[in-house]
Structure formats: C-alpha cells, structure tokens
Structure 1
C-alpha cells in the first residue's frame, strides 16, 4: 500500500531560524535573489516542454531525477491540471528558496524550489507539494469526482457531539477499497490502549528478525527495538508497511477487528480477517492461492493465514506485482470502508485524544497533512491519512477550523478496469479541503 502525494521530485528541506529574543524587531521581508527568479522562469519553461534541463538543474538533482523521470511527472501534472501557463505567485523563504504557484489550465500547482547559493546557481531541490483544482465550490468538486471513470464517494461532515453531520455527501455510505487508510483502525486501537494506560508511546517492540514488506524495518536485525511512537508516526506519515505490520501484530489482529465497530465501521465483516500488508501482497501475487482463500469461510481463511500463507516467504512476491499499473482484485482482497466509516473513525480518534497521553496522536496525524502550505494554514489543525494502489485511491482529513469547530473530509475512488489518475484526484480533494474552510 502506497502513501499518496509522494509526488516529490527531490526532497528540499527549508530551515527557518528562530529569533534570538522576544524583543527583536520584525524581520524585513525576504527578497528572492535574481538568480532564483531566473531559475523559476526556466523551470516553468521546462514544464511547458522547452528549456535546457541540464543547464537548469544541478548534477546531484539530475542524478536523483533523470530527465525522463521529470518528464513523466510533468506529463502527470499536465493530465491532471492542464498545461502550465504562468507563474502565479512567488513567496521567498530565503534569497535562494521559495514557494511558487503555477497557474495551469484547470488547476494551480504549488512547487517548493531551492537553488545553490553559489554560481552557477542551479536548481538543487524541487518539490511538487500540491495541485489545487479550479472548482468554485465543494459541490462542484464533488460533481467533478462523480464524473471520473469507475466509482467515487465523497463526504464533507461537521463533527459534533453526536457524531459526523453530513454537509456534502455522495456514495458516502458505500464501501470502497481504501488502500492504506485501513491503518487508521490500527492507530485507533493503539490510541485506545494508550488512553487506558495499557501501553505508552515510549514502549519499545523487540523485532524477531522476520522479513517484512517495504519500509524502515523491512529487514531489521533480530533484537532491534523500536518505539510504538516511531512505528505509528511512520505508519501514518509515510505509510510504512513494515511499521504497519509490526503494529498490527503488537496490538493484535483480534483487537483491531474488535475495534472496527467501536470506531464506527458499518460493515466490519467485509474486512475480516483484518489482513496485514504482507498477507495482501502474497494473496495478490498468487492467483490460485487467492482463489482458495476467497472460497473459504472466515474460519477457513484464518486457518490459511496461520498456515500456508504465513509460511510463504515474502521473496515469493514479485517486485513487479503492481508495475503494470493494472488493478489486482481490488474488489476482493483489500480493506473496505466507506467515506462515512473513515469520518467516524477520525471523529473517534479526535474525541479519544482530547486530553491525556493519547493527545500525542494528533501530532502524528499532522506530520504529513498532504496539503499545499497555503491551504493548510487556513486551518488550525489538519491531520491526514490516505492510501492507493492501482485502481484505488483514498484521501481523508481531520480538520479544525479557526473558530474551533471540527470537520472531516473523505473521498474514495475505485476503478477495477485501470489505474486511477492520482494527481487529478488529489487536486480535487485538496480543493475540497480549501473550500471547506468555514
């Protein structure tokens, strides 16, 4: 399961120095160096299909992002937003770094750019941090989602004491394959344990050396220790699959399954047994194994998971499993929640984390808000989780407005025939969050 909005061309850290004392006068506005301004115009030209790639980008950047890879992302951007047209705004972070918005035919793209501070002042970092669609209302966003191929669902809800109250909804109670959004239920189970004093964020898990799916602990040595906080942070912020499976094993499959109705999953049976990412990959990789698994009762499936599926090495899953971009049994082998289910889960986490040690989960959800900075700044709080695989995309936010009220935005898109346009979906969902500000 992949984390969406990992559309970065290259990482670009921004450092902001704190003032020395409270009495320091307000800093003068940061002004972009002329070399930065020139490079921004060159990047726009390259996005339009012209320019000199090698002259604009520094060698270390080109080593990470060859011209072909850049062209592929440019094509994806153009498909989602239309042709890039002009620089809409530049906000300098330093003389040699800025946040740039580019007006495209159907959307606005946000880029973070940095150049070397010495000649020849080439671009050393570039991050596509968001694409905001041009729709003028949340209803128009939902209409655009409805027009996508396959099936979509959407919900904007206000979170009151009595639970989510729908503001805009379509197919909100329909269950979709949701990719990595299933990890919210694991997180909720951990939050419940922390709130009850059964676990602490600082508790450490000792790994047994087992091979795990991709992530920071995929091949961690036996005896490696990692805190629950680190596992949860990586599971949510970068959708680390190794962290996910470790946490699921730690809190217990049965406990996570019992948690589904508690957080408000309307049809929990469809996601039982609650699979690890490794189990899903194994089943999707071997068609005959999947056929036998799906033919079983729930008890029979649990027996297979504990037996032959557990014994099957992860190395038997080909690295090319999703390489062709085609959906693989997304209607059968997945986790199935509706937008309303996800909103209720986020609301449960919100209420459970209002105070005490469980409150730390809010910082975890906010590590990667998956929003352009300008949109995120319009909310007091933005927590996020999404998920995707070929044919599947889901994005959901827990949001607090500046007046203190809470909201949830959740959307899902399934297409069993072909891969979905992730950037287009992301641009629409981000626009919904922008427009939902009360």
Structure 2
C-alpha cells in the first residue's frame, strides 16, 4: 500500500512538473515579443547567443511583430506551440534549460487571419526579379496565375521531370524499382545530398536513388538516374532551352568552375558540339568549383520549366511516395497529402507543393518561381509569402 502511494505521489509530481514546464515555456515565448530590446537578451542562455546573435533575434521578433501585431497567447499543440497574435498565428518550438533560459528556439512561417490571394501576389511581385505563380485545383481549375506559362530557371525542381520519366520507364519496360545501380565516378556530383561521399561500386536500388533525389535533392543520385534513363529519353518533348538536358555535375563544371574557356566554348556551340563537350566532361574531375552568392548565367545554364508545367508534373506524381518524404514549407501532420520539391541557386528560388487537407478534399498544386539575374533571391521573404499563399488556398 505504501509503495502504491509513493508511486502515485511521484506520478502526480511528474504531471505537476510537466504542467509547470509547459506554462513556463508558453510565458517565455510570449515574453520574447513583449520584452524591450535592451532586456531581450536576458531570456537566452549564453550558449544560444554564441550561435545566434541578439541582432538576428531582434530582427526576427520585429518581422513577426510588424506583420502580426501584439502577441496574445501561446497555445500548446502536438509539436510545440501555436502563437496567437492580433492579426494571425505562427508555430513555434522552444527548449529551456534548468534555469529557464532559452537554449532552443524555432518560429515557423506565419499566417494572417485576414489574408487574400491578391495581397499575397502583390507582395510577391514586389520582390526583386521575375516572378511566376501557378495554383491549380485538381489539375483543372486555375485558382491563381501569374506568368504561369513562362519558362524560368527552377534549380533542383527539374528533378520532378527525372522522376516522372523514371515512373514511365518502369511502367513501360521490364525495369523494376528493385533493380540495382552501382555508384560510378563519372556520375559523382557535388552536394546537396549524401551519395557524393559514398564509395564507388556501392549498389543502390532505383527506389533508393529516387527517394534520395527528391527528399534530399541528392545530386549524385540524380545523375545516376539521368544516366540510367538516357539523356535523350529525358529530352523527349522538352523545349529546346532544356536540350541538352544537363546532369548536375555538368552544371557545376560549366557554370561554377574557373574554366572560362570551357564555358564560352559550350555556350557558343551548336547542339551536336554541346553533346560532345558533355561527353568529354564525364572523365573530368570536379575541381575548382566555387558556388558563391552571385547569380551566374541563370538565363543560359540551368533547367527551365514554367510553374504551370511544374504544377501539372507534381500532380501526375501524386501517388509517388518520393514526393511525400520532405513536405517542404508545410507541417506534414496537418495534411492528408503533402508533396514537395524545390530548388535554388544564387538568383533562383523555386517551391512546388502538392497539398490535400483530407481524403475527400480537393488537391492543390502550388508553384512559385523567382529569378533574379542581379542578386540572390530573399529566400526567407519568399518562403514566408509562399507559406501565406498555401494557407490562403488550402489552409494552415
């Protein structure tokens, strides 16, 4: 009897402790937006401020405050908190140390209570550079369109084209997802991804390669799949601007190497000469590649698709498990289906989502592309606006 009483007391103390912790976290979250700048730093542990400067924290707080107004509440949800502001909401996560100081903090993209497509599109248009937007319901109804048929540089979102052709190849031939491809030196690329550091000869299934290509945007996985499918097979039906269809390692060599002569030779060659140059590159090492923060030839060396094409493409892939591993800008738990592929390089930013709230709900393809030849795209602002677009169309 005494043992049971002790256990009961310990359980009660545990629940009380958890309740106090949750209350403390909620209060600290609200305090972040209520403290004066001079005292904001007192909420954070020194270890946190060594990683993130107080200036950066103030900028984030000011950004959310100016858009959302005063904070009103911090409601506990399954994966953190939902911050309630005068004009909207934002997800948040927080970790406190034993002294109640912040050692971990994350804010998600906010949603405005009174938002609309026209105002979001107007703000997207204000971002420097060219813009394309396509929102399509059930692959039939155009909900929002702006420059939706303009072919623009899309970075790694081109990998949807590779995935689509891979599905077609497997459906139309005797190839299987369990078929093995061994890693080769000629298809080793640069990050993003993990396979670039794996030993040559490592066997991987087609499914493993496709999962890595989409979920982690693995460039080495992509180049092995391009080689498996055949370049000209991938080019079938594409616009001339995408021919030859580049592997990522070729893209890095042509665009970011210090070999100006190679770059000029390629750009000034006809199609057959370009193919010969790409063949020569397969035996070259990936040396002297420096990807900076300035746009380089985004109108000449890239992969080009319209947002309408990307929206249709990801809809065609709605049953593909690859697109559902990485949900992009949304919280996967809030959707019945959350598919995504995005891409970026200096001057290029692309988000393409496929979203469905419930089993019976409509399916929305939402694609946003921004190109800027002069400077890097403001990724944080673009992501915030795209998240607002998603919330306005599908719901948070």
TM-score of the aligned structures, taking structure 1 as reference length: 0.74
Report the secondary structure of 1:156's partner residue. Answer: strand
Distance 1:84 1:137 in 2: 15
Partner residue of 2:123? 144
Q: What's the secondary structure of 1:399's corresponding residue?
A: strand
Offset of 1:41 from its aligned partner? 4.1
Cα 1:192/1:412, change in 2 over 3 Å: same
8 Å CA contact retained: 1:132, 1:428: no
Q: What is the aligned residue count?
A: 374
Structure 2 distance, partners of 1:297, 1:77, is 53
Q: From 233, 239, 242, give the equivalent of 1:268.
A: 239
Equivalent of residue 405 in structure 1, options 362, 371, 378: 362
Cα deviation for residue 209 of structure 1 reads 4.8
Which residue number corresponds to residue 263 of structure 2?
Answer: 290
- Report whether the alignment pairs 1:175 with 2:146: no
**Higher Rg:** 2
In the alignment, which residue of structure 1 is the partner of 2:379?
Answer: 422
SS in structure 2 at match of 1:311: coil
Q: Partners in 1 of 2:317 and 2:161 — Cα distance?
A: 9
Please give the residue correspondences for 1:16-415 in structure 2 after superposition, counting only pairs within 5 Å.
31=19, 33-41=22-30, 43-44=32-33, 50-52=39-41, 56-57=44-45, 59=47, 66-68=51-53, 71-72=55-56, 75=59, 82=66, 86-87=70-71, 89-92=73-76, 98-101=80-83, 103=85, 109-116=90-97, 119-132=98-111, 136-160=115-139, 164-196=140-172, 198-209=174-185, 211-214=188-191, 215-258=193-236, 261=237, 268-285=239-256, 286=258, 287-307=260-280, 309-318=281-290, 321-322=291-292, 325-350=293-318, 353=319, 361=320, 363-373=321-331, 379-402=335-358, 403-415=360-372
Q: 8 Å contact 1:209–1:219 — kept in the other structure?
A: no
Gapped regions of structure 1 (runs ≥ 5): 1-29, 262-266, 354-360
Structure-2 residue corresponding to 1:18: none
Provide the TM-score with structure 2 as the length reference.
0.82
Which residue number corresponds to residue 7 of structure 1? none
For 1:411 and 1:387, locate their aligned partners in 2 and report how far apart those are by CA, in whole Å: 11
Contact 1:110-1:372 within 8 A present in 2 as well: no
Q: Is the 8 A contact 2:44 2:103 kept in 1?
A: no
Corresponding residue SS for 1:408 = strand
Residue 26 of structure 1 is matched in structure 2 by: none
**Contact kept in structure 2, 1:43 and 1:56, CA below 8 Å:** no
User: C-alpha separation between the residues in 2 aligned to 1:186 and 1:381?
Assistant: 21
Q: 1:189/1:135 Cα in 2 relative to 1: closer, same or farther (>3 Å)?
A: farther
Deviations for 1:345-372, whole angstroms, at most 9, x for unmatched residues? 123223xx4xxxxxxx2x3212222234
CA contact (8 A) 2:72 2:86 kept: no
Per-residue CA deviation, residues 356-408 of structure 1 (Å, 9 max, x unaligned), is xxxxx2x32122222343xx566431211111111111111112353343221
Write the deviation string for residues 14-57 of structure 1: whole angstroms up to 9, x where unpaired.
xxxxxxxxxxxxxxxx855233234424554789675337x724
Q: Distance in 2 between matches of 1:326 and 1:169?
A: 29
Q: Separation in 2 of the partners of 1:76 and 1:288? A: 44
Mapped contact 2:70–2:85 kept (Cα < 8 A): yes
Is the 1:381–1:400 Cα contact (8 Å) retained in structure 2?
A: yes
Could you say if the C-alpha distance between residues 208 and 191 of structure 1 is closer, same or farther in structure 2, counting changes exceeding 3 Å?
same
Does the CA contact (< 8 Å) of 2:70 and 2:86 recur in 1? yes
2-side partners of 1:413 and 1:242: how far apart? 25
Q: Which moved more, 1:82-91 or 1:427-436?
A: 82-91
Q: CA 1:35/1:204 → structure 2, altered by over 3 Å: closer, same or farther?
A: farther
In the alignment, the residues of structure 1 paired with residue 112 and residue 277 of structure 2 have an alpha-carbon distance, to the nearest angstrom, of 45
Higher relative contact order (CA 8 A, sep 6+): 1
